[in-house]
Structure 1
Amino acid sequence: MEAVPARARGYVGCAAVLALFCLLRLPTLHAPWWAVALLAALYAACEHAVRRRFAGASHPVYAVLLAGVFLLPPPAAAFVPLPGALLARVEHRPAPARRIWRAARLALAVWGAARVHWALGGRDAVVASDFPYVLLPAVAAVLAFCLVLAALDGGILAVAERVPVRRAWQGLLSRSLAPIGVHGLAGLMMAVLWRSPYGPVAALLVLLPMCVSWWVFAQYHRERAAHQATIRALVQAVDIKDGYTRGHSERVGQASVMIARELGMDDERVEVLRFAGILHDVGKLGVPTRLLRKDGPLTPEERRIIELHPEYGHEMVRGISFLGEARAAILHHHERLDGSGYPYGLVGGQIPECARVVAVADAFDAMTSTRSYRRARPVPAALEELQRCAGTQFDPRMVAALVRALGRHGWHPAVTADEPEGTTAPPAAFPSRAGARR
């Protein structure tokens, strides 16, 4: 566990001790051990199959765990996830610490859910197939399961990754309720069928539609991976053409995300703004390389050629449907509120919101990045310049959002403009001469 910070080791250790405490009464239970073993083996098999066949699937086999919650005493239910979690493949090191953490968090979540379910009389309702009264304890158990997972996950973010406390738990519970609720319904169906005259074999049939949902989810992730590969290829093409501002596109994407989150945009729009920031200068693939690499001042004709890059970029990505409004940001990120921008001289609200976000992020990175012809400005000086130009060149809302975001989180770009060529960095380096000379 040498790669894990000491505070994180302590947190994982405490979770593991609590999980062991939940299992203390396991040897004295009069539980159906064949059912415990069957559910544990089923969970381990599903965990292995889902991770192998459906990479990236979220909450893959919670239905089996929640069936154990509805069928077994709390200590026995808490044992169900242990074999699968401890033996499952781990992609990142250190593997022992990650396996222990995965097993402990699931054991604690299952134990808490089972305690709530049994306290509300859910076991008797499942045995009697007493609808609709069986639903209330089941809903409470699923909610407890989500609460424990959210509490543990937020804690590890705050402790291990030093995420601010007020942000560590933000959105964890709300994002998990819907998917885990679906798995809870499937788990309840498994439990009721298990206790019915049809027995465990009928209960296992509930997993068939779950397998279909896993397959659909895996297809989504494959499509998402293809999207990322498309963007990466475009960024690398620009990087090969002109490595003048190494990492510029990634940093603009990062700043765009900070602005979008500060404005309260949903996760889907935040992702679109990230794409827009990364690809905002992709049109420079259509600009002659000699102009992009020219050291001296540009002539008016050369500047007009470079100022065509938003239109070139829009033409390049107009057929990529998943980019959505990012395409408008690529076309209009050099427009200004007072109408003096390009390519169309749009004014105020005529400029799409996403383009106004990228414009601020682009200018901020241009000012805070070192170039061959000048040194980087300090972040406070760059923000002061953005605020001075707010209302004429930039949208004041976007500038204020960036100021608030940087005040809260600071500016820690993943790539710097003056990194040596051999430095490992995200594959992005869009030149932004026009933005740098504003």
Structure 2
Amino acid sequence: MKVIPPAARVYIGCALLAAGACVLPALRPGTPWGTTALLAALYALCELPARCPLVRRALGGSAPVGTGSSYPVLLAAALLLPPAAAALAALPGSLLARVEESPAGPRRAWRAAAAALSVWAAAHASGALGGPAALVHGADAPVLPYALLPAGAAALVFCLVLTALDGGVRAVADGPSSRAARRGLLGPALAPHVVHGLAGLMMAVLWRSAYGPVAALFVLLPMYISCWVFGQYHRERAAHQATIRALVQAVDIKDRYTRGHSERVGHASVLIARELGMPEDRLDVVRFAGILHDVGKLGVPTRVLRKDGPLTPEERRVIELHPEYGHEIVRGIGFLGEARTAILHHHERMDGSGYPYGLRGEQIPEFARMVAVADAFDAMTSHRSYSRARPVPVAVAELERCAGTHFDPRMVDAFVRALDRHGWRPSVTADETPPDGNVPPPRGADAPAPSKERG
């Protein structure tokens, strides 16, 4: 349970008082209670499934949608209602919404206050530009040309106020120098709120049409489902990233000499793929292949991985099993796709002298040829406990010398072009750097054969 600092509680209290002041005028005569109650109930209904255990269990334990999926209802309220009534419509759903972290009470109160203040400001922006009048205009003339401007202004103001309030509470809770407070929150939030604003406009137009409020559900339902699908995608992606992180951390713990090596190989592999014009949807798989290329070292005895002296032939044969171990480890992880064959074949060579199967030329999978270049380059440019890093130009010259025999020349050329464009920052990956003039004999198989360095 994360404790909310006293300063943040005061900030939340002030926001609640401000929200109460915004809602208070709705208690006076003239408030359209029918529309207000319907929109408030609709917003609450959108938030309730996330709190229902039966629904979450049916969906595999995850919430149906994320926060903000029902914002079109609030933006429709900003177009249809006076500011105070629009703020009032935001309260029930916000108070009923599911809260992930404890303490739930203050967090739920904060969400209600922020939503009420944001929709109140959005309704003022819409009213100032004639939003309500534009919606009524539809009896004799088209609505959309006149309503687009107030709807866009309402969405923009809603986004600005909500982002400012969130940034403020993060700054108060974590300190003004915190990364969360300094990082811009507006950019990532703007595009979704524009989409919510358009959906809210469609809801408001249908609400005022001859078909009435029921027709507005035809806008909300697809929006709700699309938000759920989008949320599922991000949850699945987060699970994939967590799986990758866990495997990489396990390798780093076992082989301290190559700490950070996996991430750099993943980065270099993506540089090659992007230089070759590979589609964006395959770049993640390339990155996974580079990051997990050495996951098979989990099956290699630690004493062999951490040995400082030269490897015996038997120990080298054990290390050369790590691509097959790695393939076995990831074989059941479906989202890795082509990355699995790259893990198995990243030590194959173009002339057939590699391992584990002695493939040659085009028999070697494309991703494996990319990872082979990236792996060898990082092995040569990183300090290890048993060898010193080579300068980048020297490593590039070695790659070019071995192109056609060990490495695919096309991959080497692409990597050299990418280095010219983006540069490279060599990194120390061992716990200690060997002193000058006291470099142990190089070992391993990650770099080109003449250097025999191990990654």
SS at match of 1:206: helix
Asked if residue 114 in structure 1 is aligned to residue 139 in structure 2, the reply is no
* Equivalent pair of 1:256/1:361 in contact (CA under 8 Å): no
Q: How many Å apart are 1:138 and its aligned residue? A: 0.9
Asked if residue 57 in structure 1 is aligned to residue 65 in structure 2, the reply is yes
Size of the alignment, in residue pairs?
A: 393
**In the alignment, which of 217, 238, 242 is matched to residue 204 of structure 1?**
217
Q: Which moved more, 1:321-330 or 1:114-123?
A: 321-330
User: Equivalent residue for 1:141?
Assistant: 154
Asked if residue 163 in structure 1 is aligned to residue 154 in structure 2, the reply is no
User: Equivalent residue for 1:279?
Assistant: 292
Whole-angstrom CA distance in 2 between matches of 1:433 and 1:214:
48
User: Equivalent residue for 1:74?
Assistant: 83
Q: How many Å apart are 1:63 and its aligned residue? A: 1.6
Q: Which moved more, 1:141-150 or 1:220-229?
A: 220-229
Whole-angstrom CA distance in 2 between matches of 1:163 and 1:393:
44
SS at match of 2:63: coil
User: Equivalent residue for 2:114?
Assistant: 105
Q: Deviations over 1:133-175 (max 9, x none)?
A: 11221122112222223333334444427434895116x43x3
User: Equivalent residue for 1:421?
Assistant: none
User: Equivalent residue for 1:264?
Assistant: none
User: Equivalent residue for 1:176?
Assistant: 189
Over 3 Å counting, the alpha-carbon distance change for 1:95 and 1:312 in structure 2 is same
Identity, in percent, stands at 56
Whole-angstrom CA distance in 2 between matches of 1:200 and 1:253:
53
* One-letter code aligned to 1:84: G
* Equivalent pair of 2:379/2:454 in contact (CA under 8 Å): no
**In the alignment, which of 67, 84, 94 is matched to residue 93 of structure 2?**
84
Q: Deviations over 1:327-374 (max 9, x none)?
A: 698579999xxxxx9999x9xxx998888888899999997xxxxx99
* Equivalent pair of 1:86/1:100 in contact (CA under 8 Å): yes
Over 3 Å counting, the alpha-carbon distance change for 1:317 and 1:437 in structure 2 is closer
Q: How many Å apart are 1:127 and its aligned residue? A: 2.1
SS at match of 2:254: coil
* One-letter code aligned to 1:168: R
Over 3 Å counting, the alpha-carbon distance change for 1:120 and 1:278 in structure 2 is same
Over 3 Å counting, the alpha-carbon distance change for 1:169 and 1:218 in structure 2 is closer
Asked if residue 154 in structure 1 is aligned to residue 150 in structure 2, the reply is no
Q: How many Å apart are 1:61 and its aligned residue? A: 0.7
Whole-angstrom CA distance in 1 between matches of 2:377 and 2:16:
46
Q: Residues 125-140 of structure 1: matches in 2 within 5 Å? A: 125-129=134-138, 130-132=142-144, 133-140=146-153
Whole-angstrom CA distance in 1 between matches of 2:285 and 2:170:
25
Specify every segment of 5 or more residues in structure 1 that has no aligned partner in the other structure, as ranges. Answer: 261-266, 336-340, 368-372, 375-381, 407-416, 418-431
Q: Residues 281-430 of structure 1: matches in 2 within 5 Å? A: 281-287=294-300, 291-292=304-305, 298-303=311-316, 305-307=318-320, 309-310=322-323, 312-313=325-326, 317=330, 322-323=335-336
Whole-angstrom CA distance in 2 between matches of 1:276 and 1:403:
21
Q: What is the TM-score normalised by the length of structure 2?
A: 0.63
Whole-angstrom CA distance in 2 between matches of 1:325 and 1:105:
45
Whole-angstrom CA distance in 1 between matches of 2:368 and 2:182:
32
Bigger CA radius of gyration: 2
* One-letter code aligned to 2:160: L
CA RMSD, 1 decimal: 5.5
Whole-angstrom CA distance in 1 between matches of 2:162 and 2:369:
39
SS at match of 2:4: coil
Asked if residue 244 in structure 1 is aligned to residue 254 in structure 2, the reply is yes
Specify every segment of 5 or more residues in structure 2 that has no aligned partner in the other structure, as ranges. Answer: 57-61, 271-279, 349-353, 362-366, 400-414, 432-443, 448-452
* Equivalent pair of 2:254/2:298 in contact (CA under 8 Å): no
Over 3 Å counting, the alpha-carbon distance change for 1:115 and 1:196 in structure 2 is same
Asked if residue 186 in structure 1 is aligned to residue 209 in structure 2, the reply is no
Q: Which moved more, 1:214-223 or 1:176-185?
A: 214-223
**In the alignment, which of 213, 216, 226 is matched to residue 226 of structure 2?**
213
Q: Which moved more, 1:18-27 or 1:222-231?
A: 222-231
* One-letter code aligned to 2:48: H
* One-letter code aligned to 1:34: G
Whole-angstrom CA distance in 2 between matches of 1:66 and 1:231:
39
Over 3 Å counting, the alpha-carbon distance change for 1:434 and 1:139 in structure 2 is same
User: Equivalent residue for 2:104?
Assistant: 95
Q: How many Å apart are 1:120 and its aligned residue? A: 0.5
* Equivalent pair of 2:75/2:119 in contact (CA under 8 Å): yes
* Equivalent pair of 2:203/2:219 in contact (CA under 8 Å): yes
SS at match of 2:215: helix
Q: How many Å apart are 1:35 and its aligned residue? A: 1.9
Q: How many Å apart are 1:47 and its aligned residue? A: 0.6
